Structure 1
Amino acid sequence: MNIFAYMFQDRKANRKNFKGQLVLFMFRVAQLINRSMITKVIFFPYLMFYRFFVEWSLGIELPRKLTAGKGLIIYHGQALVVNQGVIIGENCVLRNSVTIGHKKLADGTFTRCPRLGNNIDVGANVCIIGDVAIGDNVIIGAGAVVIKDIPANSIAVGNPARVLEGRSVLT
């Protein structure tokens, strides 16, 4: 994939969502800069501007070290917090007030970060914390707190999140 295709890979998915397009474009540029120490030094002012504008002004924490597949969609990104160790698959949707990250254990260590598959739809005010894996084609309802793995092709709701039996994304 060439550099321009990489930088604009989320544009089509965020059609009619200028804020999402802008944030994800800036995020992809920051990811490109982060690949080399030389580019990090040369483009240090951009990295600081990215952090100030996206994190402090818009309230969206998408670290430049985050692994995210193409087609990421951000709807109403205010208060969106994603840990840099999280892995997000392709064509995922993140809404406002979503928190995705690791959990601190009693001994002071941290768990691994969550891993989201492809085609995940995360509702508003969702918390996904700890070493969890979320399969492909999953819908997570608004306000859910995910602390356990969610199988592919399912719908999860509640606090703590539970998979709705007899319900599938495919049906």
Structure 2
Amino acid sequence: MVTLYNFIRQDFPANSENTKGKIFGLFFRLSNFHSRNIALRALLSPFRVFYKIFFEWIVGIEIPAAAKIGAGLTVYHFPGIVVHRDVIIGQNCTLRQATTIGNKTDNGRCPVLGNNVNIGANVCILGDITIGDNVVIGAGSVVIKSIPSNSVVVGNPARVVKRVNIDQTVIEEVI
């Protein structure tokens, strides 16, 4: 069984030097735990209200409390991060400012992101696509097609420019 203490601390190691990320992670995980656990809803309701008002309305991070996001979430540079409630994000994902992840059409399907995805600033990831593991998405990219694992992508529309090993050594330059 996952304890509340372990659940809310799951993003701390990824944010060891990022105090803002730790604070956001703490409140996101409290709200996320609230949405999963009926027994604690009354106890955690004040955190949910605080999360919604402070982080979504004031700070500008719209990541729904019910979002499915793996451990190790890192959020840098707060304003303008929007994640649709149906997006699935794997472990060790990094989000930066002005990032949108969601559907392309009303009631459309949303992206699924693998583990170890590093997303640059001003990125849009839209539609029924899959982003593989160990992917780096360059700043300003618009991703509307699935991206294979171990890739570096840039541009509008985004295209693969490198294929890399897990340790980031280059396998192939596609440019």
Match of 1:12 in 2: 13
3-state secondary structure, aligned to 2:20: helix
Q: What TM-score, normalized by structure 2, do the two folds share?
A: 0.89
Point out the structure with the larger strand share: 2
Match of 2:143 in 1: 146
Describe the superposition over 1:34-84 as per-residue Cα deviations: whole angstroms up to 9, x where unpaired: 123453344333211110111112111111010000011111121111111
How far off is 1:100 after superposition? Answer: 0.3
3-state secondary structure, aligned to 2:15: coil
Match of 1:133 in 2: 130
Following the alignment from structure 1 to structure 2, what is the Cα–Cα distance between the partners of residues 152 and 160?
18
Match of 1:65 in 2: 66
Following the alignment from structure 2 to structure 1, what is the Cα–Cα distance between the partners of residues 107 and 140?
24
Q: What TM-score, normalized by structure 1, do the two folds share?
A: 0.91
Following the alignment from structure 2 to structure 1, what is the Cα–Cα distance between the partners of residues 99 and 70?
18
Unaligned runs of 5+ in 2: 170-175
Unaligned runs of 5+ in 1: none
Match of 2:29 in 1: 28
Aligned pair count? 165
Following the alignment from structure 2 to structure 1, what is the Cα–Cα distance between the partners of residues 37 and 25?
20
Following the alignment from structure 1 to structure 2, what is the Cα–Cα distance between the partners of residues 148 and 112?
13
Moved more, 40-49 or 139-148: 40-49
3-state secondary structure, aligned to 2:36: coil
Kept in 2, the 8 Å contact 1:139–1:169? The answer is no
3-state secondary structure, aligned to 1:136: coil
3-state secondary structure, aligned to 1:43: helix
Matches within 5 A, 1:1-171: 1-104=2-105, 109-164=106-161, 167-170=162-165, 171=169
Kept in 2, the 8 Å contact 1:92–1:118? The answer is yes
Root-mean-square deviation (CA), in Å? 1.3
Following the alignment from structure 2 to structure 1, what is the Cα–Cα distance between the partners of residues 67 and 163?
29
User: Quick one: which amino acid aligns to residue 46 of structure 1?
Assistant: F
Describe the superposition over 1:103-152 as per-residue Cα deviations: whole angstroms up to 9, x where unpaired: 11xxxx52211000000010000000110100001010000000000001
Following the alignment from structure 1 to structure 2, what is the Cα–Cα distance between the partners of residues 161 and 52?
34
